[in-house]
Structure 1
């Protein structure tokens, strides 16, 4: 083994460690790796940058944008509207939600499909008085399983298809993944719905409608005549009250709610609705001559809903709030949105919210001006947990959106590359008004695109330096006299293990060239090994960090890190048992 091989393996190991460590986001790590292979002279600079214009990158971006257009059109709502009658029994409830999200995610982004179904699941859980934790992990797993069925269902499938095109000149077609991926998806959803949910811990979550409890640290205080706050602007009063206190509402006169703008001046008798830590409440009252009115929000009972909006949202992995704090939230929204409460992994956080950095999966209770709160939530990339309005009164829009999408798939299968066909669909959605131009790029997960472009250079370096051949030789030698089918199984299991700790797209980019060379050295069909990588890379069920869908339901479902393997491990074993024979049947090794 040459020095270049050692250096390339060392770089690959460092990249994997950085992915798992999470100190820097995966796109930053990918850029570091790309720069390293360029500076080492393994990949020319122009070729390294060419990855950002690769078909796989364009296709992923187009799919994310189309997901927004289909959501705007209400196409998925036609499906979700028929779910409620099927939720009477627990098994049918889980099955209907999981099947619906699987069907949606076969043709749109996994996380986008889950985001559309999440409010439906929470609303149906509240109506049937079932804990959200019973539904949300099966829902997340259903969104991952559905993506296995088609080319555009998940980024690993797109990567595998384009890699095959680069090596053989012929890409996998739209429904080439269906025989194996569709079978795995159907059996996986049936398992999760009929048996798998029973592996979840007893009493997971609760049947409450809200995920954050605000009574414990939201209270009302009245401004007394001798209070030093009389005549002060709310902005200045907030400074006097301290960093642990946030004014979230003002009631003046006969239950007349007023938004707590910083410029409003306080008057004697005003009722302040404040968020504060319980241990800070008594010193606050004594110092500022305030009177505690009630521990519950009695002053809010007579306020019209349109005057005060408290909205629960969850932080998805790609939100700009991930890794930020409440001060950034206020600055980003022009001080029009306040963080009232917060829950993490199902538990309300009762102290020092100002010191907390938001994480993917957190559930936030936000308060803001009714006219601008929805726009602020969209700008921050947050997902509301309230029930969405299902737009049944616009079936033509839904059917039009579906027709454009089907037309793009037909064009991609018969005339132009799928990336071009999907871009044509994006333009069509803008022209017919289903996708406003200002929303064209809102749902594009830019870090994932940077990850794809950067890691393609690393994959090229693996091949140019001969490291891929060296790794493949080692695998074949270690396998000894094992049959090619057993080696294929080992490749799939290794890919699944890597995907649970590393982004699934990065996993596919690393494992695809290795699997291809292993197949060539065994003198068997490379298609079977590439299919094994596609299934393995999209089977991240053991941890909440393995897939964005898993992370997204952690907070609303009240899950802990160790809850995922209880359902994920038997599901992963089942996927291997089903997919390996299916690959051997539909994509023969010989």
Structure 2
């Protein structure tokens, strides 16, 4: 082992630790690790930056645009909503939900599917007096399983495809992964439908918990005629930056003011609604002209009037909110919404709201105005509760146009008349020409932080290869496991990849393990394409934790889950998928 290899291994271990403990956004951690390798001279600038022109990464960017059309059209939600409406039982609903979700996820980005279906599932569950926690983990798992069927089913497949192209291979054909993807999807859905209702908990949503314990979240004060700051702004009245308290709404007669800004004026008779550390409300009572209304029958329904809503939002991995306090991120001004509470691991985060630093997976309870939906930046967080009635920005006809275009391109790729990249370029071009999507909407659909993560990870993959680290690790694995046979070698690569994807992110896990798996395949006489299939499947099969895959993170808070719920439900599924994937790859490619 050479000195550069030792440095590379140490740096990657530190990167994995940083990703696991979320010391910064994943894309920034991976990018700065790549920058370090570049400064050390372990790769040329061309090799380090090759990920930014990688065909797989660029295809992911184009798919974000296509998926954006479907997300705005509401086509998938309407179809699934129709299926669910006919369900009468819990297990029947799971069948009607999971089968189409897996099918849609084979051709569409599964993240927006899970985001937009979560509110629909919760409403159906509420209407039928069933806990939504019985459905949300299965929703995520079905989306993950479906994404393993085709080349475009998940970004991980496209990333590994791009890595294969860099080795002068032809890459994956459109349905090459289906040899493994279809069996694991069928077996996985059977398990979820049969065992899901028994192993999943009965949890309340955050909004339901808050409604049952309103006084733990809200306190009301009345402005009397003695208030010395009448007709002055909230800032002038010194009602901003309170110790542990947050002014979220002002009720003035029949009207409501939310969110409350520093320039909002205070009038006599105003009812001020505070949230935060309500134990410190006594400090406000000492102020002249402010009286605590202890006899109020205030409920959450009282603030859900005149366009004011309670909304749950899950902080994403790529969120710009991570690493900043809520106050520093200027949340109220940016999103036209006030944070009422932050929940982490199904427990309320204590302290002053403005001083809380959100983490990926945190559940925010927001009090919003009527224009909130237009303000949402989906790269920062995902709204998982219905906003008023179900509504969509685009007509359903645009979704059908996009679907026809997409299916046409898929046919051309399947018959190898076009590469997946060229097909997506043409698809996006047609959508622009037909005015199905505008340049502004296309830009908003692309998750640039995800692309930076993928491109940087691809550069690190080159580092692992060029420094000989992949070759050295691969030779050690083959030397140690060759006496045990090909199955043991395949199992070792699968397990290593799967552990990485549970601890960090799926794309980073795939990029780190691909060069190692490729070297192992060459040394052990395994077809490299088979090893690539195994790495792609293992990197996507994240069922044991909420942090390894975006869709698991999305349902974590809304389902009121604990980490153990993923382990209890996901461990049997992980074993089913692992045994099936290794067996199929062994039979086809050994």
- Contact kept in structure 2, 1:211 and 1:363, CA below 8 Å: no
Between stretches 378-387 and 565-574, larger displacement belongs to 378-387
Return the alpha-carbon distance in structure 1 between the equivalents of residues 155 and 300 of structure 2.
47
- Specify whether residues 153 and 232 from structure 1 end up closer, same or farther in structure 2 by C-alpha distance, changes over 3 A only: same
Partner SS, residue 167 of structure 2:
helix
Matched, 1:428 2:433: no
Inter-CA distance 466–79: structure 2 relative to 1 (3 Å threshold): same
Q: Which residue of 2 aligns with 1:445?
A: 447
Aligned partner of residue 319 in structure 2, secondary structure: coil
Q: Which residue of 1 aligns with 2:223?
A: 223
CA contact (8 A) 2:26 2:317 kept: no
1:244-263 counterparts in 2 under 5 A?
244-253=244-253, 255-259=254-258, 260=260, 262-263=262-263
Q: Residues 157-187 of structure 1: CA distance to partner in whole angstroms, max 9, x if unpaired?
A: 1122222222243111111111211221121
Which residue of structure 1 lines up, in the alignment, with residue 484 of structure 2?
482
Deviates more, 1:95-104 or 1:489-498: 95-104
The count of corresponding residues between Structure 1 and Structure 2 is: 584
CA offset at residue 150 of structure 1?
0.9
Q: Deviations over 1:468-506 (max 9, x none)?
A: 222121111111412212311221122111211121111
Give yes or no for the alignment of 1:377 onto 2:379: no
Looking at structure 1, the residues matched to 165 and 269 of structure 2 have their Cα atoms a distance apart, in angstroms, of 73
Task: For residue 173 of structure 1, give the secondary structure of its aligned residue in structure 2.
Answer: coil
Cα displacement (A) at 1:267: 3.1
Which of 525, 528, 535 is 1:526 aligned to? Answer: 528
Displacement, 1:53?
0.8
- Distance in 2 between the 1:300 and 1:210 partners? 10
**Residues 88-167 of structure 1: matches in 2 within 5 Å?**
88-167=88-167
CA distance in 2, matches of 1:393, 1:499: 35
Q: Please, what TM-score do these two structures have when normalized by structure 2?
A: 0.91
Q: Is the 8 A contact 2:156 2:506 kept in 1?
A: yes
Distance 1:283 1:403, change over 3 A: same
Q: Which residue of 1 aligns with 2:289?
A: 289
> What does 1:247-326 correspond to in 2, within 5 Å?
247-253=247-253, 255-259=254-258, 260=260, 262-294=262-294, 298=298, 305-326=305-326
Provide closer, same or farther for how the CA distance between residues 332 and 405 of structure 1 changes in structure 2, counting only shifts above 3 A.
farther
Uncovered stretches (5+) of structure 1, i.e. residues with no partner: none
Partner SS for 1:357: coil
Cα distance, 1:573 vs structure 2: 0.7
Please state if 1:547 is matched with 2:549: yes
TM-score normalised by structure 1 residue count: 0.91
Q: How does 1:228-239 map to 2 (within 5 A)?
A: 228-239=228-239
CA distance in 2, matches of 1:346, 1:217: 15
Q: Which runs of 5+ in 2 are unaligned?
A: none
1:339 aligned residue: 339
Deviation at 1:550, TM superposition (A): 1.4
Aligned residue in 1 for 2:514: 512
The aligned counterpart of 1:386 is 385
Change in 2 beyond 3 A, CA 1:106/1:224 = same
Map residues 73-92 of structure 1 onto 2, 5 A cutoff: 73-92=73-92
Give the direction of change, closer, same or farther, for the CA distance of 1:334–1:504 in structure 2 (3 Å limit): closer
Structure 2 equivalent of residue 60 of structure 1: 60
**How far apart are 1:577 and its partner, in Å?**
1.9
**Partner-residue secondary structure (3-state), 2:545:** coil
CA distance in 2, matches of 1:299, 1:16: 45
Could you report, residue by residue, the CA deviation over 1:507-565 in whole angstroms, capped at 9, with x for unpaired residues?
Answer: 11121122122122122322222211111111111111111111111111111223211
